[in-house]
Protein backbone atom coordinates (compact mmCIF):
# COMPACT_ATOMS: atom_id res chain seq x y z
CA UNK A 1 0.00 0.00 0.00
CA UNK A 2 1.07 3.54 -0.75
CA UNK A 3 -0.44 6.47 1.15
CA UNK A 4 -0.38 9.92 -0.42
CA UNK A 5 -1.26 13.24 1.19
CA UNK A 6 -1.54 16.89 0.30
CA UNK A 7 -1.49 17.83 -3.36
CA UNK A 8 -0.74 15.47 -6.24
CA UNK A 9 0.24 17.69 -9.12
CA UNK A 10 3.10 18.37 -11.50
CA UNK A 11 5.30 19.68 -8.68
CA UNK A 12 5.33 16.37 -6.81
CA UNK A 13 4.42 13.88 -9.53
CA UNK A 14 7.93 12.38 -9.52
CA UNK A 15 7.94 11.72 -5.77
CA UNK A 16 4.53 10.04 -6.00
CA UNK A 17 5.69 7.92 -8.92
CA UNK A 18 8.85 6.89 -7.04
CA UNK A 19 6.85 5.78 -4.02
CA UNK A 20 4.61 3.60 -6.19
CA UNK A 21 7.48 2.16 -8.19
CA UNK A 22 9.37 1.40 -4.98
CA UNK A 23 6.57 -1.02 -4.09
CA UNK A 24 7.05 -2.73 -7.46
CA UNK A 25 10.85 -2.75 -7.56
CA UNK A 26 11.04 -6.54 -7.31
CA UNK A 27 8.40 -7.05 -9.98
CA UNK A 28 4.63 -7.00 -9.92
CA UNK A 29 2.77 -7.77 -6.75
CA UNK A 30 -0.61 -9.50 -6.78
CA UNK A 31 -2.30 -6.29 -5.70
CA UNK A 32 -1.43 -2.72 -4.86
CA UNK A 33 -3.55 -0.08 -3.13
CA UNK A 34 -3.00 3.68 -3.27
CA UNK A 35 -4.69 5.44 -0.35
CA UNK A 36 -5.64 8.94 -1.50
CA UNK A 37 -7.94 9.84 1.39
CA UNK A 38 -5.50 12.53 2.61
CA UNK A 39 -5.03 14.02 -0.87
CA UNK A 40 -6.53 17.51 -0.96
CA UNK A 41 -5.95 18.21 -4.67
CA UNK A 42 -5.07 16.06 -7.67
CA UNK A 43 -4.56 17.05 -11.29
CA UNK A 44 -4.05 15.12 -14.51
CA UNK A 45 -0.29 14.77 -14.03
CA UNK A 46 -0.98 12.30 -11.20
CA UNK A 47 -3.41 10.41 -13.42
CA UNK A 48 -0.65 9.46 -15.82
CA UNK A 49 1.25 7.85 -12.94
CA UNK A 50 -1.85 5.97 -11.81
CA UNK A 51 -2.55 4.77 -15.34
CA UNK A 52 1.04 3.58 -15.81
CA UNK A 53 0.94 1.57 -12.58
CA UNK A 54 -2.50 0.18 -13.40
CA UNK A 55 -1.32 -0.90 -16.85
CA UNK A 56 1.80 -2.55 -15.46
CA UNK A 57 -0.12 -4.42 -12.77
CA UNK A 58 -2.80 -5.52 -15.24
CA UNK A 59 -0.24 -6.74 -17.78
CA UNK A 60 1.35 -8.89 -15.08
CA UNK A 61 -1.94 -10.35 -13.86
CA UNK A 62 -2.22 -8.10 -10.79
CA UNK A 63 -4.53 -5.29 -9.76
CA UNK A 64 -4.24 -1.68 -8.62
CA UNK A 65 -6.99 0.00 -6.61
CA UNK A 66 -7.54 3.52 -5.28
CA UNK A 67 -9.01 4.56 -1.96
CA UNK A 68 -10.53 8.03 -2.15
CA UNK A 69 -13.46 9.85 -0.60
CA UNK A 70 -13.13 13.42 -1.86
CA UNK A 71 -15.47 14.59 -4.56
CA UNK A 72 -12.74 16.47 -6.45
CA UNK A 73 -10.97 13.16 -7.18
CA UNK A 74 -14.27 11.55 -8.15
CA UNK A 75 -14.98 14.42 -10.57
CA UNK A 76 -11.48 14.26 -12.05
CA UNK A 77 -11.75 10.54 -12.71
CA UNK A 78 -15.26 10.88 -14.12
CA UNK A 79 -14.29 13.85 -16.30
CA UNK A 80 -11.35 11.99 -17.80
CA UNK A 81 -13.28 8.77 -18.37
CA UNK A 82 -11.26 6.86 -15.76
CA UNK A 83 -13.99 6.24 -13.18
CA UNK A 84 -14.45 2.68 -14.48
CA UNK A 85 -10.72 2.01 -14.46
CA UNK A 86 -10.39 3.35 -10.90
CA UNK A 87 -13.60 2.58 -9.03
CA UNK A 88 -13.97 4.14 -5.62
CA UNK A 89 -13.05 2.33 -2.41
CA UNK A 90 -13.77 3.96 0.95
CA UNK A 91 -11.04 2.22 2.97
CA UNK A 92 -7.89 0.22 2.38
CA UNK A 93 -9.64 -2.83 3.81
CA UNK A 94 -12.47 -2.39 1.29
CA UNK A 95 -9.95 -2.13 -1.55
CA UNK A 96 -8.17 -5.29 -0.41
CA UNK A 97 -11.51 -7.11 -0.27
CA UNK A 98 -12.74 -5.55 -3.55
CA UNK A 99 -15.77 -3.91 -1.89
CA UNK A 100 -16.50 -0.84 -3.99
CA UNK A 101 -17.90 2.29 -2.42
CA UNK A 102 -21.63 2.40 -3.08
CA UNK A 103 -22.43 6.03 -2.26
CA UNK A 104 -21.49 8.94 -4.49
CA UNK A 105 -19.05 11.56 -3.25
CA UNK A 106 -20.42 14.68 -1.64
CA UNK A 107 -21.02 17.42 -4.23
CA UNK A 108 -18.36 20.11 -4.50
CA UNK A 109 -20.92 22.90 -4.26
CA UNK A 110 -24.64 23.42 -4.20
CA UNK A 111 -26.48 24.79 -7.17
CA UNK A 112 -29.24 27.30 -6.68
CA UNK A 113 -32.65 26.29 -7.91
CA UNK A 114 -33.26 27.48 -11.43
CA UNK A 115 -29.68 28.39 -12.25
CA UNK A 116 -26.02 27.93 -11.74
CATH code of the domain in which 52 resides: 3.30.750.24
Grade residue 76 by pLDDT with cuts at 50, 70 and 90.
Answer: very high
Predicted pLDDT at 98: 95
Grade residue 72 by pLDDT with cuts at 50, 70 and 90.
Answer: very high
What is the number of domains present in the chain?
1
Angle at the Cα of 65 (from 62 to 67), degrees rounded to 5? 160
- 109: in domain: no
- 112: in domain: no
- 36: in domain: yes
- Which residue range is the domain that position 24 belongs to? 2-96
- 53: in domain: yes
The answer, as to whether pTM is greater than 0.85, is no
Q: How many CB atoms lie within 10 A of CB 111?
A: 8
- 73: in domain: yes
Using an 8 Å Cβ cutoff, are 24 and 53 in contact? Answer: yes
- 104: in domain: no
Amino acid sequence: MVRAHGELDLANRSAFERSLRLRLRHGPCPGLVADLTAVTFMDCSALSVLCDVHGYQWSQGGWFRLVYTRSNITLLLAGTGLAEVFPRYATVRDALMNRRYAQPAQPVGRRKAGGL
